[in-house]
A and B are shown apart, each in its own frame.
Chain A
Amino acid sequence: MNREMSGSQKFWQIVASVAIIVYTVVPLLWILNMSLKSTADRADGKFWAHNPTLENYQLIFTGGAKDLFLPALRNSIVVAIAATLIAVILATFCAYAIARLDFPGKRLILGTALTVSFFPVISLVTPLFDLWRRIHLFDTIPGLILPYLVLTLPLSIWTLSAFFQQIPWEMEQAAQVDGATSWEAFRKVIVPLAAPGVFTTAIIAFFTAWNDFVFAMSLTSDHARTVPAALAFFTGASQFESPTGAICAAGVVVTIPVVLLVLFFQRQIVSGLTSGAVKG
């Protein structure tokens, strides 16, 4: 890619970049500004918060909404991380086997993963609720982690098996010819090649678990309630007041960790997804 860029190419590239950036950040800036507006300014119809105040953040961290928000934040973190780790570890083995090994039932596994990822989450909710209330998993952390695997596992299996197909298996075969077993070849040759893909998958799985709304809303009530569900049931000061400020502030707070993840690991996420990890 050492072609010279013409002036107009440069211009259009800049226009395209700016357009994409504006498109992406406007809703973010908007909710940030909303969270900084006081109750009086909220309906001023302006984009920017002209008299920024932290009162909404006080409300969720130390004020009236603290008991709704802080436990939900903790639950979200615990559940999302657990569901991600379990899914990625299991999916790595599974995807390797599917992409690499010849064994009967491969299609069955992929088909199952596909079916599971098809199944509308809402359809799982009623039977799970019924079972959970009988075995006392309702409104517990594991009661959420298990169904979250429904979201993260198939996604991880598919992403990873697509990813593993890009890996040059000749290297593994070469290792096997050199006397290594399948397992050794897997560990010594493939794992380093696959690591970026696994990492990307972990981040995607984390985002998926972090994002869930339906399970959290239906299978919890307050002990295990995560942030998205808590947001939907935030209460205003009274029955006739809406909790807009608290929702926006809480929305900003839960956005910070994912933005940090993206900022720190952007290179890994993108290179994991784009390079196929093997071109060099």
Chain B
Amino acid sequence: MRPRRTRALKPLLGGCLLALAVSGLTGCGGDAGGTDTLTWFINPDGGGASPTGGGQAQLAAECSEASGGAYTIQVEQLPNEATDQREQLVRRLAANDSGVDIMSLDPVVVPEFAEAGYLVDVPEQYIEDFTDDRVQGSLDASQWNDTFVAAPFWANTQLLWYRKSVAAEAGLDMTKPVTFEQIIEAAQATDTDFAVQARRYEGYTVLINALVAGAGGSIVQNEGASAEDTQLGLDTPEGKRAAEIIQELAGSGAVGPALSSMNETNALNMFQDEETSGFMLNWLYVYAAMKENDLSFLDDIAWTTYPRVDADKPAAPPFGGIELGVNTASRNKDKAWQAISCITSAEHQKEYMLGTGNAASRSSVFDDPQIQEQFPMADVFRESLNQAVQRPRTSYYGDLSTAVQRTWSPPEQVDPNRTPAESTELIMKVLRGEALL
């Protein structure tokens, strides 16, 4: 009777293996698509995945159309947060995923991706196209080790937004450069708020970096150095000066009730509160948002370049935006660059700026009458983009930023005598892979 037992068992086991095999086949079917389909990973920009939403998806549709069948661009959306976007991309890139062709990259990930060999160098024939007529900030952001590894797409920086009536009441002459300390005093004198970002997130690093740079220093002094040889510029007079400003902000009583939970949205909400609104540091998108909200005192709102740290040193507005890179594992690199050339054309940058409020990296776009009408701050903004300072350019940016945020949070406890030194120690440990994050 024994053999029967075995026979009865076999079909069942076979069935399991079959199930495994079948599921294997269906799973492998996912990699469909012709040779001329380009996949573009986009960051959320308000246009969603809609070909008529005015965002990157619309540009993708238009360039596909314009290519006359050479390629079709398909968009995939990345998460909201810059850190999540990086995580998603790193996983795919490390897996040598050929399903990624074009990537919308935050400037801070460019060095890391380039260093890891995930980005293709811009081919010679496109360099002129991609560098001509660009604001300085986006040229800086697209290079690594003096090689262009990405194409400037759109560019962002922060402005100082303020209420004319408040500035007038405080006797602040906004036609001249103003300093952080002047704004703090003005806000205190008029009992209004100065809205900045100091939650423990990337936006806080943006502020700290702008302060260090504004004081004439830089967080990383030898960009491109290996982790061990990195020299930090935090435990320096400039770093201490930055900590001083944070300390003054936190102790001023003029930054709203919860400085340590302020992000861009909170700052905008605070600035839209008629009772307390005074000054705000924020990106370009806030103007469209305030217009859309029919703010009652919109006429009272004005803007100028980012404040100075010291009256005698130029301001260092933070640089943001998106650069476009091509994945090393892509099977359609040539067409990807063709597509990028189309996406970043002056016409498309203008269309994109009008559609999403994300500013062009091409200087000439700002002269366009339609742009001038919709963005009355276009000239100031372009000027700021040319002055804008990059966040530390290192392939360890993510770790560095997290370590900065950790040691400088909460802002109420920042101490110029202690914080920069502690911060330096933690960052160095993290860079050497000797600390957890």
Contact = CB atoms under 8 A, between A and B. Distances in A.
A78 B26 contact: yes
B97 A221 contact: yes
Name the residue among B30, B88, B96 with the largest chain A CB count within 10 angstroms: B30
Nearest to A235: B44
A212 interface: no
A183 B97 contact: no
Nearest to B1: A181
Contact of B97 (A138, A181, A236): A138
Interface in A107-165: 129, 132-133, 138-143, 145
A181 B9 CA distance: 14
Given A141-B23, A142-B23, A182-B5, A64 B48 contact: yes
A237 B94 CA distance: 28
Interface in A201-256: 218, 221-224, 233-240, 242-243
A222 B28 contact: no
B27 interface: yes
B44 A237 contact: yes
Contact of A138 (B5, B76, B79, B95): B95
A82 B5 CA distance: 26
A140 B28 contact: yes
Nearest to B286: A240
A221 B20 contact: no
Interface in A80-94: 82, 85-86, 89-90, 93
A225 B409 CA distance: 34
A82 B16 CA distance: 10
Interface string B81-102: 0001000100110111101000
Interface string A55-88: 0000000001001100000000010001001100
Given A89-B16, A133-B95, A237 B48 contact: yes
Name the residue among A138, A140, A182, A238 with the largest chain B CB count within 10 angstroms: A238
A267 interface: no
B76 A222 contact: yes
B322 to A, nearest CB: 11
A181 B4 contact: yes
B97 to A, nearest CB: 7
Contacts of A139: 30, 92, 95, 97
Contacts of B76: 222
Given A221-B92, A235-B80, A239-B80, A140 B27 contact: yes
B415 interface: no
A187 interface: yes
A223 B30 contact: yes
Nearest to B265: A240
B27 A141 contact: yes
Contact of B80 (A138, A184, A224, A236): A236
Name the residue among A85, A223, A235 with the largest chain B CB count within 10 angstroms: A235
A221 B265 CA distance: 28
B24 interface: yes
Given A86-B19, A138-B97, A183-B8, A239 B50 contact: no
A101 to B, nearest CB: 12
B341 interface: no
A34 B131 CA distance: 48
A133 B99 CA distance: 13
Nearest to B96: A133
Contacts of B77: 67-68, 235
A20 B254 CA distance: 48
B69 interface: no
Interface in B88-138: 88, 91-92, 94-97, 99
A85 B19 CA distance: 9
B196 interface: no
Interface string B156-186: 0000000000000000000000000000000
Contacts of A86: 16, 19-20
B264 interface: yes
B46 interface: yes
A93 B12 CA distance: 10
Contacts of A239: 43-45, 80
Contacts of A93: 9, 12
B340 interface: no
B24 A133 contact: no
B49 interface: yes
A135 to B, nearest CB: 11
A11 B199 CA distance: 51
Contact of B79 (A132, A143, A235, A238): A235
B257 interface: no
B285 interface: yes
Contact of A181 (B2, B78, B84): B2
B27 A224 contact: yes
A234 B94 CA distance: 23
A139 B28 CA distance: 9
Q: Which 10 A-B pairs have the closest CB atoms?
A: A141-B27, A133-B95, A183-B5, A238-B46, A64-B48, A140-B27, A223-B30, A233-B79, A142-B24, A235-B44
14 contacts: A64-B49, A68-B77, A93-B9, A129-B91, A133-B95, A140-B27, A140-B30, A141-B27, A143-B27, A181-B5, A218-B91, A223-B31, A224-B30, A237-B44
Given A181-B1, A238-B45, 18 more contacts: A64-B48, A78-B26, A82-B19, A133-B94, A138-B97, A139-B92, A140-B28, A141-B27, A141-B30, A143-B27, A145-B27, A183-B4, A184-B1, A187-B8, A237-B46, A237-B48, A238-B44, A240-B285
